[in-house]
Amino acid sequence: MPHFDQTLDVKGAKCPMPLVKSRKAITELPVGQVLQVISTDRGSVADFQGWAKTAKNVELIAQETVQENGQELYVHYLRRTA
Amino acid sequence: MTFTPEQSTVTEISPRDLYARLLSAQPLFILDVRNEEEFKRMPVEGHATLRTLNLPYFDFIEDEEAALARLPKDVEEFIVICAKGGASQYVAEVLNNHGYRAVSLSEGMIGWGNYYDVRDVVKADWGRIVQIARPARGDLSFAVISDGQAALVDPLRHIQVYRELIENAGARLTAILDTHVHADHISGGPALSKETGAPYYIHPYDAIHPIDMLPAVIAYEPLRDGQTFQIGQVRITTIWYPGHTLGQVNFLAETPDGGRYLFTGDGIFLRSFGRPDLGGKGEAWTPILYRSMFEWLPRHLTDDTVILPAHFSTLDEDAGNGIFAAPFAQVRAQNDSLQPRSLEEFTSYVLSHLPVFPPEYVEIKRVNIGLVEACEGKASELELGKNICALAG
């Protein structure tokens, strides 16, 4: 698990809300810090990758899938770069 | 902006509305807001009057103005679609707020992929032949209903559609006929047989997985060439047609008014024919397909025999009314792949027109003869995308 500074819990939120909330949270994050996003939406894995390619001042550092109480969690790590 | 799906004022259209519009050949514009990879794997297809733009929803979240600037200005209405219907609602609302007319496809591509269209091919005093299509995949299946009896040909995975159709017709299912063991989709035949007790028929050559060389473990009745079924006043005759698979058959339905309807499965399509390589032995099976196509089947064909295949490749193949059928004389005239060729010419034609071999097709055949189980999640994953059973054009 990479180092992170803040966590955004969007469990249960359906597309497009995980990304809408992440975009907002990243904007409020100090430059250089890392945001951990925890989602239950499987589609978020490919969508965060696609978004990070063109997103301004955002770097997708890592993604992981973990099990929690029999539920799959899709975890994204985003750094604010500028 | 703030967006809450519950408060959205966006107008939604159903998969049924979408299909009606796709068939109508009116100008349409689809704004597909999925990521590029998902869009490429399975776009919504239509007539030449359909224009499509892929602009992911996260582009609208990242920079709304820039995304809006990429929209064409000459569009009357955008049909916005995504994977499940959430992101399309979001984007349609953005568009509406900026003065564009936009509607969102409810349930997204999942709903579209699982949408079934049911309509009569023919209805007469002896009964009906019904086409049951899954348009997103280009899959076609049929029901023959006469005097309270029903037979199904190539039923697809969502079996409730067939059960309702037969129940509403006040009929009883007496035979489930698969033209072959399918590679591109999961058959509804075994499940229907289990639920209704009606026998499930396949040719025994298809009851052996061609790559695993393992026998079927599902319950089935073996079909033989020439075997007939009486469904009310309709007689159905089995015609062995090896090539696409070794056990591929066609079913010829003859009606009391002299009508002849040939369910060709993945034999002849309206604009192509079924590829002989999905068993992993394309070169060995091509001469068998040649014999089926040019020597055996023509004995059963008349110019007015209506060809009813198990797939279409594009919506342009419909007869203008959502029915994917045509008399053989017309098929022969418009289907270049059926033109007379020597075996050598045919072989080189086939081998130079083979599309990609989707790896999941081997697994789907395992599921269809019971070698592997597939839950709903796995089944829908295996069936992602459109069928690739025809030779490339």
CATH of the domain at A67: 3.30.110.40
Q: Return the closest-CA partner of residue B331 out of B261, B268, B276, B387.
A: B268
Q: Number of helices (H) and strands (E), helices first, in chain B?
A: 13, 18
| A49 contacts B56? CB cut-off 8 A | no
The yes-or-no verdict on residue B6 having pLDDT over 90 is no
Contacts of A55 in chain B (CB under 8 A): 58, 62
pLDDT at residue B9, as a whole number: 84
Amino acid sitting at position B213: M
Per-residue pLDDT band at A75 (split at 50, 70, 90): very high
Q: Contact, B82 vs A46, CB < 8 A?
A: no
The yes-or-no verdict on residue B3 having pLDDT over 70 is no
Contacts of B3 in chain A (CB under 8 A): 16-17, 20
What value, to the nearest 5°, has the Cα angle with vertex B293 and ends B330 and B338?
Answer: 40
B266 to each of B45, B85, B139, B389, how far by Cα in Å? Answer: 21, 33, 10, 7
pLDDT at residue A59, as a whole number: 95
Contacts of B63 in chain A (CB under 8 A): 56
Residue-range definition of the domain harbouring residue A10: 4-78
Catalytic residue among A5, A11, A15, A81: A15
| B36 contacts A43? CB cut-off 8 A | no
Q: Kindly report the nearest CA distance between residue B179 and chain A, in angstroms.
A: 36
All domains of chain B, ordered by start, with CATH? 5-112 (3.40.250.10), 116-382 (3.60.15.10)
The yes-or-no verdict on residue A15 having pLDDT over 90 is yes
A80 is catalytic: no
For residue range B102-112, list pLDDT tens digits in order.
Answer: 999 999 999 99
> Side by side, which strands form the sheet with B306-309?
B228-231, B234-240, B249-254, B260-265, B306-309, B326-327
Mean local confidence (pLDDT), B176-192: 97
Q: pTM value?
A: 0.92
Ordered alpha helix ranges (H), B98-230: 108-113, 160-168, 189-196
ipTM over 0.90: yes
Per-residue pLDDT band at B2 (split at 50, 70, 90): low
The yes-or-no verdict on residue B8 having pLDDT over 80 is no
Q: Indicate the residue of B37, B86, B87 with minimum beta-carbon distance to A46.
A: B37
How many domains does chain A fold into?
1
